[in-house]
Amino acid sequence: MGPIGTFLLSIGESPGSALGREGQPTLWAVPSPVVPKGADVTLRCQGQLESETFQLWSDGEFRNETIASQRVAEFVLRNVDDMTDARSYSCRYGRGPFWSEFSEALPLVVTGAFPKPYISALPPSKISPGSTVNICCQMPPRGPSQDYSFALLEAQSLKPWKRQNPARIRALFSLLSVRAQDAGNYSCIYYNKTAPYRGSQPSQALELTVLGD
């Protein structure tokens, strides 16, 4: 498959930070920022400068702190819950009284709260290289009535490719000029636009075949 789409939001700057924007850390989730309810997920915070202490924040509130000898710290969330853990996370690192900027925020989506959507492709999922394929993700007929965000995922790992915020009951993801590395199994979810980021069960897998691969 092709590159994983970014799944990030922006947050404000850290009051009193002194390490500068060039020292802003990076936060990501392993195996994915989309995780089933009850599973474990690791949030990794990587600093750009030498540091002693790393902090994890959730929706602007302090969550945890750890000491790390390297530039990467790990925060493990176990048995994640779709109410308490499906939040927006950020991290920072510090040495002595000085702290870096916060990382960009990472929303953690916990799936399983709603019925799974339907997924389909047009044209059919066997296509020639260079073609465009549209993948549709649609809520079930009796799905929730409020507006949701949609995400296109790699089916097995649940790593997000693309995200949309449509106001209707379906989202259309266009893959332009597909290549051999775009072949694979896709699924999709819909989830709350705001925290807690409670998501549906993933759709059935859709296999995309690029002819001549």
Higher pLDDT, 61 or 13: 61
Asked if residue 120 and residue 85 are part of one domain, the reply reads no
Residue 9 placed within a domain: no
Q: Count structural domains, the chain.
A: 2
Asked if residue 171 and residue 117 are part of one domain, the reply reads yes
Q: How confident is the model at residue 41 (pLDDT cuts 50, 70, 90)?
A: very high
Asked if residue 182 and residue 145 are part of one domain, the reply reads yes
Query: What is the Cα–Cα distance from 27 to 208, expressed in whole angstroms?
Result: 30
Q: Give mean pLDDT, residues 24-43.
A: 97
Dump strand ranges (E) for 128-169: 133-138, 148-154, 160-164
Asked if residue 122 and residue 98 are part of one domain, the reply reads no
What is the CATH number for 196? 2.60.40.10
Q: Give mean pLDDT, residues 139-156.
A: 86
Asked if residue 117 and residue 191 are part of one domain, the reply reads yes
Final residue of a domain: which of 49, 82, 110? Answer: 110
Asked if residue 56 and residue 79 are part of one domain, the reply reads yes
Domain of 95 in residue numbering reads as: 21-110
CA angle at 126 for the pair 121 and 131, rounded to the nearest 5°: 80
Higher pLDDT, 71 or 73: 73
Query: What is the Cα–Cα distance from 81 to 41, expressed in whole angstroms?
Result: 11
